[in-house]
Amino acid sequence: MNLQELLEAFPEEIPFNEAAEIIKDFPEEERRKAFEEIRKKQHGFWDDPEQVHYYSEVHHRVPLTGQHFRELARAVDPKPGETIIDLGCGVGTFLKFLLTENKTQQLKIVGIDYSDRALKKAKERLAGLTQGIDIKYISQDLKSPLPFEDNSVDKAISNWAIVYLSRNELKNSLREVKRVLKEGGKFFFSALIRGGARKHLSPENLGFLISSVLQEPGATFKALRFEKKCRSYFPEYSLEELKGMMKEAGFEILETKYTVVGKTATIIQKA
């Protein structure tokens, strides 16, 4: 398979993980070009008005994901005076849960995302929830160095965000998160993972999945299509791979929990 054929087949016929294996055998210049074109398609995916609409209006209505957002927001448990960064904040869905589940004020919150369209939507959605909150938005790709001083952040969150970076980019990004967190600061990391659902589709989880479909059939089926697209456009890592990279970056893993019937996992770690 040549470069042109690969790019035409990605991501509908050849998902990212498979494409990355094929690209390894390309000459250096073709490898660079392949990843450059793939990155353009990935950026286009997140900046697509259809995806912005889905994430702002539909995603949180799915009982499975709504429960995940609420549990993660409660786990973050913000305290007055803390600085919290949301890496890949998108349209502000998680931040909205964070601010509604926790009534803490006197916080400094920074949302980072490369999609200006998504950041604009986030500002609109959170406008009425930020009284007593110093909130800022930064337009930046997460593979770039974070614009914060060393040891300046209390808590960092990545909810289905930086995991979409390639392996080396993800390793660099994890080191950046470790750099900016204060000693003992916490990093709340959640991601779609490879192989989790098969291991954790218990009768209880299966019942919850069926209940989700019955409660919000339209939203649930849209969520399943969204998941399929994410697994095609972006890298998939196993939980073991992610934990290995986090330990390599210097984090101490405090807790690991499968969510969304095993499709995703949340890893809470300490700098």
In the sheet that holds 83-87, the strands lie side by side as 133-139, 107-113, 83-87, 153-159, 181-192, 264-270, 252-259
Q: Which residues does 111 contact at the CB level (< 8 Å), separation at least 6?
A: 85, 86, 89, 92, 95, 119, 122, 135, 136, 137, 138
Query: What is the rounded CA–CA span in Å between residue 209 and residue 205?
Result: 6
Predicted local confidence at residue 227, as pLDDT = 87
Q: Which residue has the tokens 């470069």?
A: 3
Q: Which of 27-41, 206-220, 243-257 has the lowest mean pLDDT?
A: 206-220
Residue 51, token pair as written in the block: 């995806």
CA–CA distances in Å: residue 253 to residues 79, 180, 230, 242: 21, 17, 26, 11
The reported pLDDT for the residue numbered 79 is: 95
What percentage of the chain carries pLDDT values higher than 70? 91
What pLDDT is attached to residue 208?
Answer: 55
Residue range(s) in the chain whose domain bears CATH number 3.40.50.150: 52-196+224-270
pLDDT per residue over 126-154, tens digit each?
Answer: 998 998 999 999 999 999 999 999 999 99
pLDDT of residue 152: 98
CATH tag, 52-196+224-270: 3.40.50.150
User: Minimal CA–CA distance to 264: which of 94, 105, 136, 137?
Assistant: 94
How confident is the model over 169-226, as pLDDT tens digits?
Answer: 999 999 999 999 999 999 999 998 887 655 555 555 555 566 666 666 777 788 888 8
Compute the distance between CA of residue 177 and CA of residue 185 in angstroms, rounded to an integer: 10
Average pLDDT over the chain, rounded to whole?
A: 89
Could you give the CA distance from residue 271 to residue 113 in angstroms, rounded to a whole number?
A: 23
HEC-encoded secondary structure of the chain? CCHHHHHHHCCCCCCHHHHHHHHCCCCHHHHHHHHHHHHHHHHHHHHCHHHHHHHHHHHHHCHHHHHHHHHHHHHHCCCCCCEEEEECCCCCHHHHHHHHHCCCCCEEEEEEECCHHHHHHHHHHHHHHCCCEEEEEEECCCCCCCCCCCCCEEEEEEECCHHHCCHHHHHHHHHHHHHHEEEEEEEEEEEECCCHHHHHCCHHHHHHHHHHHHHCHHHHHHHHHHHHHHHHHCCCCCHHHHHHHHHHHCCEEEEEEEECCCCEEEEEEEC
Q: What is the reported pLDDT for 201?
A: 54
The mean pLDDT of 258-263, rounded to a whole number, is: 73
